[in-house]
Amino acid sequence: MSKELQSSLRLANGVVPHTLEDIRQHFDLPRILDAYKSGELLRWCQERYYEDEVEDLKIRKTLHFESDEELGESLRILFGVEETIPDPTDSKHLQQMQENLRAYTDNSEILNQADRVAFDQEGLAVLLSKGTNPIYLCGSKFTLPASKRGRTYIGINEPEVELSGGDCFDDSEITVQNVKTNLTSDKSMRRLFHSRLDNLGDYPSHPLKDWGSFIADREDDSRSAYSEFSHFKSKMACHQKAESVLKSAYHDAERALKKQFDKNRDDGYCDRLQYDLTRGLSRLTRLLHYFRTEETGELIDEINNLLIASPVITYMRVFNDELAGRCKMPDYTEYRSQIMYEEYNPSPAAAEPGLLKILAAPFCQYGYELPLWEVRRGYYKAQENFEESFYQEVRTQIHLQIIEPVQLKLSQVESKLQQNT
């Protein structure tokens, strides 16, 4: 039985290439670029044992390309594809484009902007690289990149379009007119709205967990412990040294916690919440118009007024301060009492059994090592408690102030929509 190839490479108009010649004949730069970046192009060549091309692709992975245009030109050279697309601003080509357009429209405004018309995917790539906006589409099918945000595409002959690299056009602030696409169906976008509304309550997708180290490297002078034969002056020096190092570390931990819990800190808990929540609500707001009809307009406006971050942010800033007051370091005396000033000297050490002798070794590390470790542990425990409580309260407030009120209004909206179907 022959081995089934796993690659799912697709080119212009859905062509599935089986040979290098297929790639040359149906070379589709945007899809080739996507396949290169995802590794699909390399996998396609490996499965077909195009070893020279595999080696060339691996080499390109080690190089830095300033732009997709530069990378695309490199891939054209690799596959032996010549750039045959004429410059849309060339006068003769412009006249030819106008003649071709007359088969689809007699709109003088469009005819006068023939240099903004893409007849195929390659032509679209050229216009996108030039920053053209808006772009007219006159062909059977086009793939629109989500990375090119804020673009407007206007169909001339109602071409089929699909979005690459995104869920919906609204997220990329892309406007499409007079085209065919299932991405813009109302029901599809409503389902997407519900899904994103539910996901809003799962905050955060990635906890902060970036606490850093608060204790600077300190000289390991723990062997300044004393024995029963040490002089009083040596004993006092040992006490002072151990307590000085421990107290310094303890105050470092307190300052680090205060900085981490500061509600006004850049990239802190409140700052990240405001950014993430505002972004998520903005994505929901852009989908609302798929629910809007003459009958639902008033309810949609009410939902739009609920999709704001400020009530949750205001509440969480107050909660942040209250929580910071609870998540503190344990009292310093707890750590001070753990300092070992006196030597631990098993008698006779040589007589200790093997395992006990090994276990006794850490106790010979005199001074403040144990309490220093406990200070670190207390710091991270306070951080963990703060983060867990903060995120739990965020989820509660998002549900109470946003998700539940919006869902209540949505049920009324969908009831009206069903009545009209």
pLDDT in tens, 26-51: 888 888 888 898 888 888 888 877 88
What is the largest distance, in Å, between two alpha-carbon atoms of the chain? 108
pLDDT at site 192: 78
The mean per-residue pLDDT over the stretch 387-405 comes to 95
Q: Residue 259 CB: number of other CB atoms within 10 A?
A: 12
* 3 state DSSP class of 393: helix
Tokens for 190? 């409503």
What's the burial of 280, exposed, middle or buried (CB within 10 Å: 0-12/13-18/19+)? buried
Closest by CA to 166, choosing from 183, 185, 188, 141, is 183
Give residue for tokens 């983060």: 387
Amino acid at 313: I
User: Rounded to an integer, what distance in angstroms lies between the CA atom of residue 232 and that of residue 279?
Assistant: 65
pLDDT band at 206 (very low <50, low <70, confident <90, very high): low
Running DSSP on this structure, what letter comes out for residue 154?
E
65 against 261, higher pLDDT: 261
Contacts of 187 (CB under 8 A, 6+ apart): none
343 pLDDT more than 90: no
This model's pTM is above 0.75: no
393 against 178, higher pLDDT: 393
User: Rounded to an integer, what distance in angstroms lies between the CA atom of residue 257 and that of residue 260?
Assistant: 5
Contacts of 353 (CB under 8 A, 6+ apart): none
User: Rounded to an integer, what distance in angstroms lies between the CA atom of residue 38 and that of residue 20?
Assistant: 19
pLDDT at site 107: 83
Q: What percent of the chain has pLDDT over 90?
A: 20
User: Rounded to an integer, what distance in angstroms lies between the CA atom of residue 15 and that of residue 12?
Assistant: 6
For the chain, the 3-state helix, strand and coil shares in percent, each to the nearest 5, are 60, 5, 35
For residues 55-89, one letter each, b for 16 or more C-beta atoms within 10 angstroms of the residue's C-beta and e for the rest, the string is ebbeeeeeeeeeebeebbeebbebbebeeeeeebe
Cα Rg of the chain (Å, integer): 33
184 against 9, higher pLDDT: 9
Contacts of 386 (CB under 8 A, 6+ apart): 260, 261, 323, 324, 327
The beta strand positions in 34-181, using DSSP E, are 117-118, 135-137, 141-145, 152-155, 160-164, 175-177
388 pLDDT more than 80: yes
Tokens for 123? 């032509």
pLDDT at site 341: 62
pLDDT at site 170: 63
pLDDT band at 132 (very low <50, low <70, confident <90, very high): confident
User: Rounded to an integer, what distance in angstroms lies between the CA atom of residue 243 and that of residue 368?
Assistant: 8
Q: What percent of the chain has pLDDT over 70?
A: 75
* 3 state DSSP class of 321: helix
